Amino acid sequence: MSDLQPTEVESRRAARERALELLYEAEAKDVAIGELLDQQPIVPAELAVELVRGVDEHRDRIDELLGRLVAPKWSLDRLAAVDRSIMRLGAYELLAVPERSAALVINEAVVLARRFGTDDSPRFVNGVLSAVASEVRPE
């Protein structure tokens, strides 16, 4: 069990939701993350900014990894944009933030998938990110 207080868990979850919204918006509008962040009337939470900048910075590696681990007959581009953004967030944390537990990262991604994706999204996101975790955190 975590020693985080519920309000901290909630604020971190809200920051992840905001990061998802920003990634989705950047892709939909085909705008750079930095430019999108500059356009925000209210500065997003520090965690949200870290997540979207991290996804942006590691995008090639994340997309290569996700593209390889998604079912062979399915390309990353064919995924629902929300699922793709959720998996990019989770993959970034698994790759670049080793101090965050893999179980926590995957759980938070599944929560986002349950809230914003389709009925199949949570299981799909869980499976792909579990494969990412197995590859990048083999301990």
Each of the 139 residues of the chain gets a pLDDT tens digit; together they read: 456 555 887 889 999 999 999 999 999 999 999 999 999 999 999 999 999 999 999 999 999 999 998 866 678 888 899 999 999 999 999 999 999 999 999 999 999 999 999 999 999 999 999 999 999 998 7
What's residue 71's pLDDT?
Answer: 65
What's the predicted TM-score (pTM) here?
Answer: 0.90
Report the C-alpha gap between 134 and 115 in whole angstroms: 25
Please, how many CA atoms are within 13 Å of residue 83, restricted to the half-sphere of its CB? 22
Catalogue all structural domains in the chain, each as residue range(s) with its CATH number. 6-136 (1.10.940.10)
Spatial separation of the C-alpha atoms in residues 137 and 106, rounded to whole Å: 13
Count CB-CB contacts under 10 A for residue 62: 24
Q: What share of the chain is helix, strand, coil (3-state, %, to 5)?
A: 75, 0, 25
pLDDT of residue 5: 59
Tell the burial category of 71 from Cβ atoms under 10 Å away from its Cβ (0-12, 13-18, 19+).
exposed
